[in-house]
Each structure stands twice: as structure tokens, then as C-alpha cells.
Structure 1
Amino acid sequence: MYKVFVDGSAGTTGLQILQRLEKRNDIELIVLPDELRKDERAKKEAINKSDVTILCLPDEAAKASVALCENENTIIIDASTAHRTNESFAYGFAELSPEFRNKIKTSKRIANPGCHASGFCAAVYPLTASGIMGKDYPVTASSITGYSGGGKSMIADYNENGQKESMCSPRFYSLNLTHKHLPEMSKVCSLENAPVFTPIVSKIYNGMLVSIPIVNRLLNKKMTAEEIHGFYKEYYKNEYFVRVMPFGGKEALENGFLPATECNGTNFLDIFVFGNESQTLVVSRLDNLGKGASGAAVQNMNIALGLDEKISL
């Protein structure tokens, strides 16, 4: 029986993790009463008593909780952005390569990827790691997400004001081009320059589409869109949660439209490739609360404990 403590269990991601774990007979959840959720002494005891602690906290609070851990056997999985570029933390995206999966298996410190970064890295990392895309390629990306990605405050805003015309439309944000997921996107994919990244929030609760346009002639290896699709198909052929969909979307399109919500409630990430001989569009579809947050955390926990990574997912 593994003891698991979710620090920040009242938040959107924390609640989803609890829902995924509460019915497992191999997990004993350590739960603090509401009045002790922010009590440092109670948290320290819970963290050091646990086999796994999952942090669903703001960055500074996550750093403080990591500092409370004195038990060298406790595995910490941090869902904040605080440690995603920290060399002492394994980056928790096992499907990227055997090296990533092995680091998760052997590390006591794991950084859960950001939701936008998950879709981005799933598409870009294989290209840069294989040398198809140069590390100096001028990458651009956009990502449309459900409003649950903004946490409790944004959820409350949409619940209260969601009928306003301005909130019924997709809304661009982080227009200073310094989104908090950019450091991990650049580091994980070994990009020399940060991507020009445009996130967009939409009036859906959850769901996500991350799109990366590619000018084929700028690649190190000249490939058509269909050849790039074949590359992804081979790259992810042994992965359960990353699914490379048929070229051009085909049956996934609804009257020519690609919906953002079809992975909701799952830990799947679907990769689509569209285009022709000169241009390619790669799109990752995922649940921002699933593979983009709580699902990934549970998957990383399973891997770190040496369990079947699909349990609860």
C-alpha cells in the first residue's frame, strides 16, 4: 500500500488527481483537514510520511513544500512551473524518449509538464531530437485551451460572466510573448530561440489544440507533410497514450473542423498532421486537465513506483 499526499488538493488539478486515486486499493491517501491545509508543521509531517507527494500549488508554495521534505525515499511530483527547467528534476513526459521515461523511473523529483508545453513538446521534440528540425528553426505555435486552465479564478469568471459577448469568443492572452511555459518548451526541445507562442482561451471548460506550422524547405531534411506524418507514426508506435492519427485528420474532422474536446476525460494526446509538399501543420490535441495536468501526474506516479502506467487512466 503506497501512501500518497496531494498538497493543494482543493484546486482544480488536485481534485482531479484525488478522483483518479480514491478508488485504488493500492493507494492510501493522506488527507489533511481543511484548517491544516496550509499549516507548515502538518504539511511537513504528511510529506515525510508519504511515499509520493504531488504538489498542486503556486510556484513559490511548491518550492516551500519541496524544502519541507527530509525523507530521502519520498517521491515528489510538482505540477507547478517551479522546477520544470531544474536539472535535478526529471521532466515528466515519458513518451518523448526512453531517456525521459528512465529518468522518471529513477528520480525522486519529477516536474509535471505544463498543458501547452505537453502539446508543443509532443510535436516539436521528435523533430529536433532527430535533426529533422534545426535547433535554430524559428518555431511558432498557437494553443487554444479550455478556461479551466486558468484555475479557480478564471472558472469563476466564466461561470459569472460567460454570457458576455466578449467572453463567448476565443480570447488571446499573454500578448507580451512571455508565457510561463516558454522556458520548458525551449529547454526540452533544445531550441536556441524561444518560440513565438500565442495562447488562446475559449469558452469550453476543458480541451486543447496546440498547432505548429512548418515551412518544409526550412527543415534540415526536406520532407513532405505526409512524410513527416510517417515519421511521427514510427516515432510513437509503441506509446499507448500518444496516438498519431491518420494523415489529414480524415474521420476525426467534423465537416472539415477539428474539435478540441475529443480527448477530454482521458490521458490521451492525439497528433494530427495536415499539409502538402511545401507546408505542414502539426496539431496536438489533449485534455488540459488530463494529459496536460492530473492524468500526467498519475502516470508519472505510476512509472516512478514501478507500476503499470495506465492504472487509473
Structure 2
Amino acid sequence: MAAKVFIDGEVGTTGLQIRARLARRDDISLISLAEADRKSRDARLDAFAAADVAILCLPDAAVHEIAAELQALPCRVIDASTAHRTDPAWEFGFAELDAGARARIAAAKYVSNPGCYSTGAIALLRPMIDAGLIAPDHPITINAISGYSGGGKAMIAEFEAGAVTGGFVYGTAQQHKHLPEIVARAGLSRKPIFVPQVGQFAQGMIVQVPLHLAPGGPAAALDALRAHYTGQHFVQVVDRADMGDRINPQRLNNTNMMELTVDGDADTGATVLIAVLDNLGKGASGAAVQNLNLLLGLNEAVGL
């Protein structure tokens, strides 16, 4: 029997991407509301009650409004917003985080999908801490660039209308919404400095973390990544040369893959950790489908 899935907010950027991934599957039955009912509390609650799994693709405030009502319903929930990413009642939906992550996600009633920037940052930093290459209070800086689709419909419209050209840097006040989950899920005790950018391209992402390590640091960091992600399908550790001289943030677009690598100077220990992913794939809708598969007891790669 097909699993019944309701996407609350299916007409947003992430919701549309999730729907596209699920619509072609015969093991999923999508519950959709008529346009007139999409903001109706009663119609939405009826859809939640009928679903095996609901996926919230809503602004944080709207998630908080509906979340309490879902506790009395049997459906399991994946939240694609920022609202619950550090909430201990919600399992963090990064299946490659550690050896027990998949089992925790599969058993959870509530799963919080990671953010796009934080997926790359956590993927790079957690193995460094676990391997003892950096301490939890190490001073960290994170530099990242994303396609403009990460800003949602309003930003997409700005770029596609030509109102923004060349991209921009933002979030320099160090209050970016992804910082709490990076601290909590990477195992940091000190908030990093994070400088995000939006590029003149629709989707794709590069996250970079520069580190001062001991001599030989780049090789040690690469070894730590390889050890952490051995046997993973969607997170691959590659040689720096595999990405080419100029790393293309769009190299993994329309996939749920993330590639990690390391560069730097072995003599000084100056090290750069690098993650490439699709901000709409492993950074959003692809990860949500991966988590949905785990909740349903399926191979996590189905439909991806």
C-alpha cells in the first residue's frame, strides 16, 4: 500500500522540489489541498490526520503555529524550516552525522531537516572534532556561497527580473539562522564566524572552513573525513584534484550528493575544508526525501 504524504507548503521552493521527487513514485500517495484550502486550518489538519508522514515547508512562525496541534495526530513529521533544528524533541535529519543517526531518524516521530549551509559546515566540522584535530572551542570561520534559489520565491524573482546582479554578501552581523544548528550539531562550544554569499546562479553551493592545523594538517583532515564517511552513498570524500582547478558550486545540481575535500599547505598546516552540494538537493528537498524514506523503512536512496 502506498504511503500517504502531505506537504504543507507544497507551492514554495522546497515544497515544489519535494513534490517533484515524490510525484513520480508509485509507493507514495500525495495528499494535496485545493488552492482555496491551503491556508485553512481545518483543511490542513484533516490532511495531517490522513497522512502517514507530513512535511512542513513553511516559514518558522507558521510551523510554530501548527506544531502543537500535530502532537495529538498519528502522522510523523519532517520539518524543513529552522524552527526545530536544535529542539531535543526533534531528531536532526542528517543521516550521515554519526553511526546511530539513521536508526534515530527511522524511529523518530519528529525529524528536523538540516539547513543548506549548515549541512556543509556540519559535515566538515563534526569529523574534525571527533578526530581531535580541533577542540570544540576552536575559533572557526565559515565562508559559503549559495545559488539565489536558497532565498525563496522573492529572491528568485529579484534575480530573474534583473533587480540584483553579481550576487551579494549578507548576514555579517553573525546572527544567521543556521548558526545555532551548526554549533549544536557539529559539536562546537564556541559560535563560529559565518559569512554567507549569494551568487549569480540559481542553485548549487560551496562551503569552506579554513583552519590552522599542525604541519601535515591537510592530509590529517582528509583522513578524518574519509574515516567518518566510509561506506556512505550521498556524502563522498574526494581528492581535491577531482573538483578541478576552479571549483564549480553547481557541479552536483539536481542530485542529493555532497562532495567533501581538503586543500592547503602541508608544511604550515594551513588547511581548507570544502563541501559542494545542491542547496535544493542535499541542502533541502533531497535530504527531506532521504529522511522520508528512512521514516517509511525504505532504502534511503529511493527516488533520489
Task: Using structure 2 for the length normalisation, give the TM-score.
Answer: 0.96
**Residue 246 of structure 2 corresponds to residue 212 of structure 1:** no
1:240 to 219, 233, 237: 233
1:226/1:276 contact within 8 Å kept: no
Aligned to 2:275: 284
Dislocated runs of 4+, deviation >6 Å? none
Question: Matched residues, percent identical?
Answer: 40
For 1:192, the aligned partner's letter is S
Question: How much does 1:73 deviate?
Answer: 3.2
Aligned to 2:29: 28
1:295 to 280, 286, 296: 286
Question: Which blocks of at least 5 consecutive residues in structure 2 are unaligned?
Answer: none
CA displacement, residues 110-149 of structure 1 (integer Å, 9 cap, x when unaligned): 0000000000000001111333210110010011000000
- d(CA) in 2 for partners of 1:252 and 1:177? 30
Aligned to 2:264: 275
CA displacement, residues 273-306 of structure 1 (integer Å, 9 cap, x when unaligned): 1012211101100000000000000000101111
- d(CA) in 1 for partners of 2:225 and 2:190? 23
Aligned to 1:117: 118
1:48/1:71 contact within 8 Å kept: no
Question: Which blocks of at least 5 consecutive residues in structure 1 are unaligned?
Answer: none
Q: CA RMSD in A?
A: 1.2
Write the mapping of 1:159-174 to structure 2, written as runs, cut at 5 A.
159-162=160-163, 167-174=164-171
For 2:111, the aligned partner's letter is I
**Residue 295 of structure 2 corresponds to residue 304 of structure 1:** yes
- d(CA) in 1 for partners of 2:286 and 2:128? 25
Task: Using structure 1 for the length normalisation, give the TM-score.
Answer: 0.93
- d(CA) in 2 for partners of 1:29 and 1:20? 11
2:210/2:270 contact within 8 Å kept: yes
For 2:212, the aligned partner's letter is V
Write the mapping of 1:121-132 to structure 2, written as runs, cut at 5 A.
121-132=122-133
Question: How much does 1:103 deviate?
Answer: 1.3
For 1:305, the aligned partner's letter is L
For 2:89, the aligned partner's letter is S
Write the mapping of 1:8-87 to structure 2, written as runs, cut at 5 A.
8-87=9-88
**Residue 247 of structure 2 corresponds to residue 258 of structure 1:** yes
2:218/2:265 contact within 8 Å kept: yes
CA displacement, residues 230-276 of structure 1 (integer Å, 9 cap, x when unaligned): 22112211100001011xx21321xx211100110000000011012
Secondary structure of 1:297's counterpart equals: helix
- d(CA) in 2 for partners of 1:201 and 1:294? 19
Question: How much does 1:72 deviate?
Answer: 4.9
Aligned to 2:217: 224
1:242/1:270 contact within 8 Å kept: yes
Aligned to 2:152: 151
For 2:106, the aligned partner's letter is K
Between 1:233-242 and 1:66-75, the stretch displaced more is: 66-75
- d(CA) in 1 for partners of 2:92 and 2:71? 22
- d(CA) in 2 for partners of 1:189 and 1:251? 26
- d(CA) in 2 for partners of 1:159 and 1:125? 36
